[in-house]
Amino acid sequence: QVQLVESGGGLVQAGGSLRLSCAASGSIFSIDTMGWYRQAPGKQRELVAVITRGGSTNYADFVKGRFTISRDNAKNTVTLQMNSLKPEDTAIYYCNAVAVLIIRTTHWGQGTQVTVSS
């Protein structure tokens, strides 16, 4: 099993920055991809950014150039630096990890609220 704990959410004005962090524990040796998803009220959960163990990244079009995902394999953490935040970025942000140990399993953190005021 993999446990994920997020931190760093909060309230910020439009144009501001926030940094989200996620720490993984448990069967961390099995983790391949880590990333961030978000869910706004009344909307489906959507991908924000993901990063592989090797450092390859993939971003949603709506965050390209504003958000940066990074990962520290030694510390088992993944970080999302969010700059130039917009009100439409308001959502609950969830840390995600995909582990491969015989079978592929997906794990989620409890979520952290990000609110961007206009």
> How deeply is 110 buried, as exposed, middle or buried, from its count of CB atoms within 10 A (0-12, 13-18, 19+)?
exposed
Looking at the chain, which runs of residues are DSSP E strands? Answer: 2-7, 10-13, 18-26, 31-39, 46-51, 57-59, 67-72, 77-82, 91-101, 103-108, 112-117
Would you state the structure tokens that stand for residue 50, as one six-digit string?
A: 């993901």
- pLDDT at residue 27, rounded to an integer: 81
| CA–CA gap between residue 29 and residue 47 (Å, rounded) | 23
- pLDDT at residue 1, rounded to an integer: 85
Could you tell me if 67 and 58 are in contact, meaning their C-beta atoms sit under 8 angstroms apart? no
- pLDDT at residue 45, rounded to an integer: 97
**What would the pLDDT profile of 61-86 be if each residue is shown by its tens digit?**
999 999 999 999 999 999 999 999 99
Which position has the token pair 């931190």? 7
Q: If we measure between CA atoms, which residue out of 49, 52, 50 comes closest to residue 63?
A: 49
Stretches where the chain sits below pLDDT 70 are none
